[in-house]
């Protein structure tokens, strides 16, 4: 089990066809890899530091001993797992009810704010992300996401700056995301 103290890491896995699937970039202190020890399961994802990072490594048995012995630790773990379940349910709903254009708009907004109840200001910069990774986050192909991003640029919703995007019309993106 790992705990990111500071820095930034990417979490990826492999699809059934063997292609790389981008899951998330983590840059806030939190634990990673907890499902393996908790569920007695094999690891299904990899973590790669993309900047200098401080990560604590805790053996599975030591992690489980703390969770079983410390009620506060168990409660915090359960809260974090509940947030993960809620996030996965929201993603499943997005796949069902939003078209790809709406999902791309929503993911761009989610990458710059922890809470979509308050939209970020126009001009905010999305952290460095490839079109393939954004496609993984949206449940679409890289080609279709690229086409959507070009449309967003043409409509003035975003501006591309290398691998980064600047959100120029967050309210328009929110409308597409049905927020």
Q: Is 2-97's fold the same as 100-176's?
A: no
DSSP assignment of 1-64 equals -EEEEES-EEEEEE-TTS-EEEEEEE-SSEEES-HHHHHT----EEEEESS--EEEE--HHHHH
CATH top class, domain 100-176 = mainly alpha
Percent of the chain residues topping a pLDDT of 70: 100
- 3-state secondary structure at position 122: coil
Q: What is the DSSP letter of 112?
A: T
pLDDT in tens, 62-119: 999 999 999 999 999 999 899 889 988 988 999 999 999 999 999 999 989 878 888 9
Residue spans of the domains in the chain: they are 2-97, 100-176
Q: From CA 57, how far away is CA 77, in angstroms rounded?
A: 16
Percent of the chain residues topping a pLDDT of 90: 53
- pTM for the model stands at 0.75
Q: Is it the case that residue 147 has pLDDT exceeding 80?
A: yes
Classify residue 143 by burial, with Cβ atoms within 10 Å: 0-12, 13-18, 19+. Answer: exposed
pLDDT at 132: 85
Average pLDDT score over residue span 144-170: 94
Report residue 168's pLDDT band, with 50, 70 and 90 as the boundaries.
very high
pLDDT at 87: 85
CATH topology of domain 2-97: Jelly Rolls (2.60.120)
């Amino acid at each position: 089990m790992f705990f990111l103290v500071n820095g930034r890491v990417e979490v990826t896995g492999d699809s059934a066809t063997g292609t790389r699937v981008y899951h998330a970039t983590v840059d806030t202190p939190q634990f990673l890899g907890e499902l393996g020890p908790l569920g007695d399961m094999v690891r299904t994802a990899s973590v790669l530091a993309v900047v200098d990072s401080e990560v604590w490594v805790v053996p599975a048995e030591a992690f489980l001993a703390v969770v079983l012995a410390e009620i506060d630790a168990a409660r915090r773990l359960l809260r974090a797992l509940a947030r993960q379940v809620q996030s996965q349910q929201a993603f499943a709903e997005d796949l069902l009810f939003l078209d790809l254009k709406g999902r791309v708009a929503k993911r761009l907004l989610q990458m710059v704010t922890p809470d979509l109840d308050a939209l970020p200001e126009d001009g905010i910069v999305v952290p460095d992300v490839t079109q393939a990774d954004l496609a993984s986050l949206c449940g679409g192909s890289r080609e279709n996401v690229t086409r959507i991003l070009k449309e967003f640029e043409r409509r003035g919703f975003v501006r591309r700056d290398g691998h980064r995007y600047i959100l120029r019309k967050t309210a328009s993106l929110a409308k597409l995301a049905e927020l």
